[in-house]
Each structure stands twice: as structure tokens, then as C-alpha cells.
């Protein structure tokens, strides 16, 4: 499959704090076209909790996750973003090879034209994910047994982290090795605005939230943390860092929340986040939230 970026960092790059936009056999398809446009505006699509099952006709709470992602891909095809990030829970419950095959099938048309970065959540299986999307082996990863990626988003740096701890259990964790990598990388990279992406909810079920924010709180370059997991949609702040809760694409778990995705326009000074609600509570469909980055 071309287009889906499974980008990781070698140990040598880890030690020197450098990271290429695309690396070796772990890279598929085009690179970001905005790599040099750091003063412009980059438009990205953010998704979470697609929950694609082995059976495309799987239905939960009246929602059909396969059809939802199919519709989202059709919407993106009409107005291509610079790239796509999914923050995890790609699969329905425990991750199955057939689930990831379905995800891959749905993402392929977009991935042939734009970079796609896939995070992992508590309903994913690394083994089955790697079996479908490829794995260059532990020598090509920044952190052993973690799926870490960095995207060049033009005016912003986008870092996708891995909080998968136990399959089909609620809590998540970055872990000492991943936090060490993150701190080392952030201390050595430039001051471009940086957004972190993870699956679990800070302050709720991310077990090492305190340790994470002790790292990123004093680093003004970190502007926001984007996450999913709750199947909710909303914005808050913690230690001056924006917390952005992406709605679930597969289904909601309470009627008051939308099902859909988020369109993000990122600049060096802030971001505009447009909700595309295609199911559930659609009353906020089309609402744009503007955020200014901390200094």
C-alpha cells in the first residue's frame, strides 16, 4: 500500500535528536508538501475511534463504523487535506487482522495522495496492526514496543505517541522509555509549535499524565495535546496547554455527543478547528473553535 506513513526513528536519530520526515521501509507514499512553509497555514484532518470490525456490516448503537469511515474518506477526497491523523482505536474491540485489512482498504485512496499517520488505542493490537501495515523491526523504532511518529505539518510539528497498555482495557500509559524519548527529542528540536497526539484522556485514564506534563509543561513549544478515547468532543486547557478531544468516527457512547471528525487549520500562532458532525448530536456541525498558542 502506498501513502500510509508508518514513520519511526532509529536509535542513532534518537540519540542525536534528529528525525527525518520519512524513513526507510516504514514509509509509504507522499511526504507533506508543506515541509518548508513554516509561516503559512496547513490543513489537516483529525480522526479517532474508527472502531472498524472484521465484518463491514457491524453495527453498534445504531451506527455502522465501516460506513462512517467510508463517508469520511469520500468527504476528504472532495477537498484533500495536507494529511490525516487517527489517534487510535482503529479496530472494534481487540484488533483483528481482518479489521486492519478493512481499515487499510478504506484509507488507501486518500493514502495514495496524502500522508496518513495511524495511532494505537486500547482496542488495537500492535501485532495485528503491524501484520497489516508493516513493521521494520525494533531496530527501526524510536521506542521498543511503541509506535511513535513525527509529521512535518509546515507551521507545526505533529508527534503521534502510543498509549496502548493492555488490549481491551481502559487505562493507557506512555511509559518511561517513550517519555524519555519525547523529552530528549523536544529538548533538541527547534521551537516550531508542536502538537502531541495520543489516544487516552489526560488527567483521567492516562496513568502517567503527571510525568508527561512535568516534561511538556515548561516547554513552551508544546501547544496542544490531541486525544480521543472518550467518544466525546470538546476543548479545555491544562498548564496552559490546549487539550483537544476529537469526536469518535465510529459511534458515540452518549447521545449528546457528535460522531464525525475534525478539520484543523494550523498556523504558527494558533489553530482553527472545524467540527464535521455526521451522526449523533449534529447541532454543532460546522462550528469552528479558534485557539491561540501559548507563548
Taking all residues of the chain, what is their mean pLDDT, rounded to a whole number? Answer: 88
pLDDT for position 96: 92
Give yes or no for residue 137 having a pLDDT over 80.
no
Q: What is the CATH number of the domain that holds 137?
A: 3.60.21.10
pLDDT for position 30: 57
Give yes or no for residue 254 having a pLDDT over 50.
yes
Helix axes 97-111, 65-78, angle to 10 degrees: 10
pLDDT digits (tens, 9 = 90+) for 197-212: 999 999 999 999 999 9
65 assigned to some structural domain: yes
6 assigned to some structural domain: no
Is residue 14 classed as helix, strand or coil in its secondary structure?
helix
Task: Tell which wins on pLDDT, 86 or 23.
Answer: 86
Average pLDDT for residues 79-90, to the nearest whole number?
Answer: 97
273 assigned to some structural domain: yes
Residue with cell 507551521: 155
For the chain, the 3-state helix, strand and coil shares in percent, each to the nearest 5, are 25, 25, 50
pLDDT for position 4: 55
151 assigned to some structural domain: yes
pLDDT for position 38: 77
Average pLDDT for residues 43-57, to the nearest whole number?
Answer: 98
pLDDT for position 142: 78
Residues spanned by the domain of 227: 11-292
What is the domain count for the chain?
A: 1
188 assigned to some structural domain: yes
Give yes or no for residue 6 having a pLDDT over 90.
no
Grid coordinates representing 227 are 486525544
pLDDT digits (tens, 9 = 90+) for 20-41: 222 222 334 455 444 456 779 9
Q: Using 50, 70 and 90 to split pLDDT, how confident is the model at 135?
A: low
5 assigned to some structural domain: no
Distance CA 117, CA 5 (A): 6
pLDDT for position 141: 66
Distance CA 3, CA 93 (A): 26
Average pLDDT for residues 238-253, to the nearest whole number?
Answer: 98
1 assigned to some structural domain: no
Of all residues in the chain, the percent with pLDDT exceeding 70 is 85
DSSP H stretches of helix in the chain: 11-16, 65-78, 97-111, 126-133, 176-188, 209-216
pLDDT digits (tens, 9 = 90+) for 223-235: 999 999 999 999 9
Amino acid at each position: 500500500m502506498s501513502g500510509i506513513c508508518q514513520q519511526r526513528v532509529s536509535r542513532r536519530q534518537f540519540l542525536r535528536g534528529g528525525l527525518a520526515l520519512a524513513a526507510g521501509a516504514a514509509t509509504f507514499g507522499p511526504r507533506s508538501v508543506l515541509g518548508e512553509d513554516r509561516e503559512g497555514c496547513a490543513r489537516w484532518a483529525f480522526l479517532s475511534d474508527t472502531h472498524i470490525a472484521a465484518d463491514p456490516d457491524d453495527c453498534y448503537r445504531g451506527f455502522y463504523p465501516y460506513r462512517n469511515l467510508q463517508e469520511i474518506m469520500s468527504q476528504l477526497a472532495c477537498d484533500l487535506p495536507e494529511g490525516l491523523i487517527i489517534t487510535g482505536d482503529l479496530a472494534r474491540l481487540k484488533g483483528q487482522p481482518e479489521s486492519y485489512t478493512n481499515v487499510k482498504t478504506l484509507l488507501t485512496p486518500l493514502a495514495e495522495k496524502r500522508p496518513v499517520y495511524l495511532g494505537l488505542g486500547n482496542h488495537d493490537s500492535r501485532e495485528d496492526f503491524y501484520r497489516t501495515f508493516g513493521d521494520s523491526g525494533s531496530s527501526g523504532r524510536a521506542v521498543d514496543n511503541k509506535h511513535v511518529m513525527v509529521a512535518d505539518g509546515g507551521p507545526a510539528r505533529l508527534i503521534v505517541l502510543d498509549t496502548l497498555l493492555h488490549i481491551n482495557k481502559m487505562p493507557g500509559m506512555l511509559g518511561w522509555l517513550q517519555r524519555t524519548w519525547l523529552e530528549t527529542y523536544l529538548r533538541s528540536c527547534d521551537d516550531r509549535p508542536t502538537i502531541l497526539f495520543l489516544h487516552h484522556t489526560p488527567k483521567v485514564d492516562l496513568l502517567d499524565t503527571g510525568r508527561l506534563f512535568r516534561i511538556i509543561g515548561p516547554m513552551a513549544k508544546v501547544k496542544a495535546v490531541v486525544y480521543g478515547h472518550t467518544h466525546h468532543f470538546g476543548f479545555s486547557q491544562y498548564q496552559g496547554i490546549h487539550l483537544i478531544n476529537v469526536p469518535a468516527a465510529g459511534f458515540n457512547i452518549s447521545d449528546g455527543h457528535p460522531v464525525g471528525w475534525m478539520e484543523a487549520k494550523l498556523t504558527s500562532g494558533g489553530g482553527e478547528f472545524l467540527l464535521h458532525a455526521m451522526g449523533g448530536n449534529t447541532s454543532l456541525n460546522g462550528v469552528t473553535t479558534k485557539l491561540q498558542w501559548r507563548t
